[in-house]
C-alpha cells in the first residue's frame, strides 16, 4: 500500500517488522498492544517534527519507543542468538549530508540507535562493532546494560523451538528454514523514516537480528544501503525482513537508485525494490520509505508488517495485515 499525500510540511512513518503475521493467530489484546505502541512511536516523532526538530531527532526518538517495548525485536525483546545471548545492530542516516552511524553485534546497549547516532556525530567512523563499539559508548558516557535486561520469555521460546527444529532435522537451519510459519513469528526489527520542516530526510533502524543466529552474524540493518539509507535527493528508507536477501539486493539503496536513475516515483520505486529485486531472489520482508514531499510508501511481500504513518491534519494510521490497506 502506498500513501501518496500532497505536499505536507513534515511527516513520519515507522515499522515494527514484517513477517508471517496473521490475523487468525493474533489475539485482540496483542493486536491492541502493537497498535498502541506504533501510535506512541509515531506521536513522539510527530511532536518533535511539529516543534521544528530535525528528522534525525524524530526517527531516533520514535525508534526508542519501540526499542523500549518487549513487543519488538530491538532493545528489550531482542531475539536470542544460538548461544542464548543478544547481539544488536542499528543504523541512522542523515539525508541532508549523507552522514551515517551504525553499530553491529552490541550486547549491552539499551538503545542501540542512540549509540549509532553517537557514532555518526562523535566519531570519525561510520560502523563500529562488538566490544569496540561498547568501549566507544562508555567513553562517551553511555552506561552498559546487564544482558538479562534484554531477556523475554517469548523470545526464549522462539530460540528453544528453533534449536529443537535443528536437532530434529540434524542440520543448521536459519531464517525462513527455521521460522515457524504457523505462529506469528516474524522479523520484528524496528525502524522510522521522517521528513522535517526543513525538508531534510532521515532513516533509523534497530534490531536484535534473527533468532538462532551464530558466528556473530550481522544482518542488513547496520549495512548502509541495505537495511537503511537516506538521501535528500530521493528518499529515506528503513527495511525489515531476511537480512541476507536484503543485503544481496541492496534494498534501501535500490529505492534511491530507481528514483534517481530511472525517475520512478517513490511508491513505484519502493514496490519495485520489494517485489522485483528482493522478491526475485527469494527474499521476504518489507520497507518504509519517504520522499521530500512527505509522501510515504510501505510495501512488503510477507503476510503482514507492523507499520504506521502520520502527517499533519490526520490522525495516526497503523496497519498490521495486508488487508488493512484494502
Instruction: Tell me if 162 contacts ligand ASP by CB under 6 A.
Output: no
Question: Closest separation between CB of residue 189 and ligand ASP, Å?
Answer: 3
Q: Report yes or no: 212 and 72 within 8 Å, Cβ to Cβ.
A: no
The CA angle 52-116-31, to the nearest 5 degrees, is 75
| Of positions 105, 209, 283, 303, contacts ligand ASP by CB under 6 A | 209
Instruction: Tell me if 73 contacts ligand ASP by CB under 6 A.
Output: yes
Q: Is 187 exposed, middle or buried (0-12, 13-18, 19+ CB in 10 A)?
A: buried
Report the distance separating Cα 152 and Cα 154, nearest Å.
6
Instruction: Tell me if 272 contacts ligand ASP by CB under 6 A.
Output: no
Q: Which stretch binds ligand ASP (CB under 6 A): 107-115, 213-221, 264-272, 299-307?
A: 213-221
Instruction: Tell me if 211 contacts ligand ASP by CB under 6 A.
Output: no
| Of positions 210, 236, 251, 288, contacts ligand ASP by CB under 6 A | 210
Instruction: Tell me if 221 contacts ligand ASP by CB under 6 A.
Output: yes
Site residues for ligand ASP, 2-21, by CB under 6 A, read: 17
Instruction: Tell me if 105 contacts ligand ASP by CB under 6 A.
Output: no
| Of positions 77, 95, 112, 219, contacts ligand ASP by CB under 6 A | 219
Q: What is the DSSP letter of 52?
A: T
In this complex, which beta carbon is closest to ligand ASP, that of residue 12 or of residue 288? 288
Phi first, then psi, for residue 144 (nearest 5°) are -95, 145
- CA 190 from chain center: how many Å? 3
The CA angle 258-126-276, to the nearest 5 degrees, is 20
Question: Closest separation between CB of residue 263 and ligand ASP, Å?
Answer: 29
> Can 189 be counted among the known catalytic residues?
yes
Q: Which stretch binds ligand ASP (CB under 6 A): 60-68, 119-127, 220-228, 289-297?
A: 220-228
Q: Report yes or no: 174 and 211 within 8 Å, Cβ to Cβ.
A: no
Task: Starting at the earlier edge strand, list the strands of the sheet with 190-195.
Answer: 127-129, 99-106, 88-94, 201-207, 190-195, 11-19, 304-310, 317-321
Question: Closest separation between CB of residue 73 and ligand ASP, Å?
Answer: 5
- CA 295 from chain center: how many Å? 19
Q: Which of 27, 147, 152, 189 is catalytic?
A: 189
Q: Report yes or no: 188 and 34 within 8 Å, Cβ to Cβ.
A: no
The CA angle 98-318-32, to the nearest 5 degrees, is 130
Report the distance separating Cα 26 and Cα 3, nearest Å.
26
Q: How many CA atoms lie within 13 A of 95 on its CB side?
A: 33
Instruction: Tell me if 243 contacts ligand ASP by CB under 6 A.
Output: yes
In this complex, which beta carbon is closest to ligand ASP, that of residue 10 or of residue 187? 187
In this complex, which beta carbon is closest to ligand ASP, that of residue 305 or of residue 311? 305
| Of positions 94, 134, 220, 254, contacts ligand ASP by CB under 6 A | 220
Q: How many CA atoms lie within 13 A of 110 on its CB side?
A: 11
In this complex, which beta carbon is closest to ligand ASP, that of residue 48 or of residue 289? 289
Question: Closest separation between CB of residue 50 and ligand ASP, Å?
Answer: 29
Site residues for ligand ASP, 170-199, by CB under 6 A, read: 187-189
Q: How many residues bind ligand ASP (CB under 6 A)?
A: 17
Catalytic residues: 189
Q: In the complex, which residues of this chain contact ligand ASP (CB under 6 A)?
A: 17, 73, 187-189, 207, 209-210, 219-221, 227, 240-243, 246
Amino acid at each position: 500500500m502506498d500513501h501518496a499525500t500532497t505536499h505536507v510540511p513534515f511527516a513520519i512513518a515507522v515499522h515494527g517488522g514484517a513477517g508471517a503475521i496473521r490475523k487468525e493467530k493474533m489475539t485482540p489484546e496483542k493486536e491492541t498492544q502493537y497498535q498502541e505502541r506504533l501510535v506512541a512511536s509515531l506521536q513522539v516523532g510527530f511532536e518533535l517534527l511539529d516543534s521544528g526538530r530535525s528528522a534525525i531527532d524524530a526517527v531516533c526518538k520514535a525508534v526508542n519507543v519501540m526499542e523500549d517495548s518487549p513487543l519488538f525485536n530491538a532493545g528489550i525483546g531482542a531475539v536470542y542468538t544460538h548461544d542464548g545471548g543478544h547481539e544488536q545492530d542499528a543504523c541512522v542516516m542523515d539525508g541532508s549530508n549523507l552522514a551515517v552511524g551504525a553499530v553491529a553485534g552490541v550486547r549491552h546497549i539499551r538503545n542501540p540507535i542512540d549509540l549509532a547516532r553517537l557514532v555518526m556525530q562523535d566519531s570519525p567512523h561510520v560502523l563500529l562493532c562488538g566490544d569496540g563499539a561498547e568501549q566507544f559508548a562508555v567513553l562517551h558516557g553511555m552506561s552498559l546494560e546487564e544482558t538479562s535486561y534484554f531477556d523475554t520469555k517469548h523470545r526464549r521460546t522462539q530460540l528453544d523451538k528453533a534449536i529443537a527444529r535443528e536437532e530434529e532435522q540434524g542440520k543448521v537451519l536459519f531464517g525462513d528454514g527455521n521460522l515457524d510459519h504457523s505462529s506469528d513469528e516474524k522479523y520484528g526489527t524496528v525502524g522510522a523514516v521522517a521528513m522535517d520542516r526543513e525538508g531534510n530526510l532521515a532513516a533509523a533502524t534497530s534490531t536484535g537480528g534473527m533468532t538462532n543466529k551464530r558466528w556473530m552474524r550481522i544482518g542488513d540493518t547496520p549495512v548502509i544501503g541495505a537495511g537503511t539509507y537516506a538521501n535528500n535527493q530521493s528518499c529515506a528508507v528503513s527495511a525489515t525482513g531476511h537480512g541476507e536477501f536484503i543485503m544481496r539486493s541492496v534494498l534501501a539503496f535500490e529505492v534511491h537508485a530507481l528514483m534517481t536513475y530511472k525517475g520512478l516515483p517513490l511508491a513505484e520505486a519502493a514496490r519495485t525494490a520489494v517485489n522485483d529485486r528482493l522478491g526475485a531472489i527469494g527474499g521476504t520482508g518489507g520497507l518504509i520509505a519517504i520522499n521530500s514531499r512527505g509522501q510515504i510508501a510501505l510495501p512488503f511481500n510477507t503476510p503482514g508488517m507492523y507499520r504506521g504513518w502520520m502527517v499533519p491534519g490526520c490522525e495516526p494510521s497503523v496497519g498490521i495485515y495486508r488487508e488493512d490497506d484494502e
